[in-house]
Amino acid sequence: MLPEDISSDLDTVLLTEEQITARLAEIARKIEADYEGRDLLLVAVLKGAVMVMADLARELERHVEIDFMAVSSYGKSTHSSGVVRIVKDLDVDLSGRNVLIVEDIIDSGLTLDWLRRNLQSRNPASLEVCALLRKPDALKVDIDAKYVGFDIPNDFVVGYGLDYAERYRNVRGVAVLAPHVYS
Ligand code: 5GP
Ligand code: MG
Ligand code: MG
């Protein structure tokens, strides 16, 4: 097996690039309707959400601003603690802005719960969440996400921005990682 071979590390493909593209287009039409007549600022957390951000932003046929934050979680990397430190903050002031958080995945929901509180304290005019993926069986806190792409089973997935040890972010679809990778 070649060291650069990706496909043998992937089990079930949960979502193809085509499915993701089609769903993001549907969500973009809803966002256009919901934010008609209002400004819109998309905010994403690096690095997992970069693909969703890039594709969703380009799907929107209206003015939009984008900004990024980098955070680091305390504690074990496989399970979210929800305790987060800001490594790079947003460049823009959120006060009076209509902010839409663009996320890759809602797993326990702890990270997003923290992020939502943090951004809410900056007095945006509105604050909503758009997540490509959600694992309903893993939720620990109630996250009222206005836009959700797909509900998926409680398996560890990679691709479309999501990593395992910083790899697989460049996979075009979303797939379950083969067990031999982490055993
Ligand atoms: P949460 O705080 O909702 O548990 O998840 C925090 C972060 O953990 C997500 O934004 C994502 O970066 C990562 N994460 C959660 N579930 C998965 C998964 O199935 N695969 C990958 N690659 N990352 C995940
Ligand atoms: Mg994320
Ligand atoms: Mg990760």
Q: How confident is the model at residue 75 (pLDDT cuts 50, 70, 90)?
A: low
Smallest-distance ligand from the CA of 177:
1
Mean pLDDT value of segment 4-14: 93
**Paired residues of 177 in beta bridges:** 10
Q: Would residue 107 show up in a list of annotated catalytic residues for this protein?
A: yes
Write phi, then psi, for 34 (nearest 5 degrees).
-70, -30
Task: Return the domain boundaries, the chain.
Answer: 18-152
Percent of the chain exceeding pLDDT 70 equals 96
In sequence order, the 6+-apart residues with CB closer than 8 A to the CB of 6 are 168, 171
Among 162, 164, 174, which residue has the most ligand 1 atoms within 8 Å of its CB, making it the best to mutate? 162
Mapping DSSP onto H, E and C, the string for 9-47 reads: HEEEEEECHHHHHHHHHHHHHHHHHHCCCCCCEEEEEEC
Q: Is the CB of 113 under 6 A from ligand 1?
A: no
**Four-way CATH pick for 18-152: 3.20.20.210, 1.10.287.3510, 2.120.10.30, 3.40.50.2020:** 3.40.50.2020
Percent of the chain exceeding pLDDT 90 equals 86
pLDDT tens digits for 92-115? 999 999 999 999 999 999 999 999
